[in-house]
Structure 1
Amino acid sequence: MNLQVKEKMDDEKNVTLCIEGEVDVYTAPKLREKLLPLCQEGKTVTVDLSKCVYIDSTGLGVFIGAYKMQRGTDGKLILKGMNSRLLRLFKITGLHEIMKIEESAQEDGQP
């Protein structure tokens, strides 16, 4: 599956990246290319994962890299719109404890 990464500037310091598709070993470089520079600039970056259906370990690595990069700036990294499968992945790996995740009120029935 292909990956779409759409960038929406909310204002000078706030940007939203809408991720659609799968983040895996083949598509992660596309996400990295968009996400890391924004985190390096000290922006508040909200990543909307409501249309993301899959993330593998390479994709998790991109988010870890972005998290580490933004820690050295005044920026923030916020993940939102995860389905229950993606949220479970972040909980299993413990990343939910260090990253800001806005949980969706809508559940898709997955454990």
Structure 2
Amino acid sequence: MNFKIEVNRIVDQTVIYVAGEIDAYTAPKLREELIAFAEEANPRLTINLRNVDYMDSTGLGVFVGLLKVIRKNNGELKLVELSDRLERLFSITGLNDIIDISSKSEGGVQ
């Protein structure tokens, strides 16, 4: 299965909806698309993962790399609407301590 990305720009914030699976096959394309937004000046990204069915360690790597680029550009990253499974994955790896994660939706209706 592939993944799908939908982007919604709201004032000074970009909300990105990701759906599908994030794995070794799809992670490079996801990284490529997300980094473009992270390289903007002062990026404010909210990534909605409500419709992500599966994520492996390569997916986690995408978000770690994304966070580094966003911080370098004085921006903010927030992940929202993670499934219980994804929340556990970020918690087990300790990434929930360095990435802003919220169970609530933000930045528009989808």
The TM-score, its normalising length taken from structure 2, stands at 0.89
Structure-to-structure mapping, 1:79-90, within 5 angstroms: 79-90=79-90
1:72 Cα deviation after fit = 1.3
User: Mind listing any 5+ residue stretches in structure 2 that lack a counterpart?
Assistant: 106-110
Higher RCO structure, 1 or 2 (CA under 8 Å, sep 6+): 2
CA distance in 2, matches of 1:6, 1:104: 18
Q: Which residue of 2 aligns with 1:14?
A: 13
User: Mind listing any 5+ residue stretches in structure 1 that lack a counterpart?
Assistant: 106-111
CA distance in 2, matches of 1:77, 1:101: 9
Figure out how many residues of one structure are paired with residues of the other and give that number. 104
Of the structure 1 ranges 78-87 and 35-44, higher mean CA displacement relative to structure 2 is found in 35-44
Structure-to-structure mapping, 1:37-52, within 5 angstroms: 37-41=36-40, 42-52=42-52
CA distance in 2, matches of 1:64, 1:74: 15
Letter in 2 for 1:90: F
The TM-score, its normalising length taken from structure 1, stands at 0.88
CA distance in 2, matches of 1:44, 1:15: 6
1:92 lines up with 2:105 in the alignment: no
1:102 Cα deviation after fit = 0.7
Letter in 2 for 1:35: L
Structure-to-structure mapping, 1:32-111, within 5 angstroms: 32-41=31-40, 42-104=42-104
Letter in 1 for 2:57: S
Q: Secondary structure at the match of 1:67?
A: helix
Q: Percent sequence identity over matched residues?
A: 41
Deviation beyond 6 Å, 4+ runs, structure 1: none
CA distance in 1, matches of 2:48, 2:104: 11
Q: Secondary structure at the match of 2:74?
A: coil
CA distance in 2, matches of 1:7, 1:16: 6
CA distance in 2, matches of 1:25, 1:69: 20
- 1:9–1:15 CA contact under 8 A, matched in 2: yes
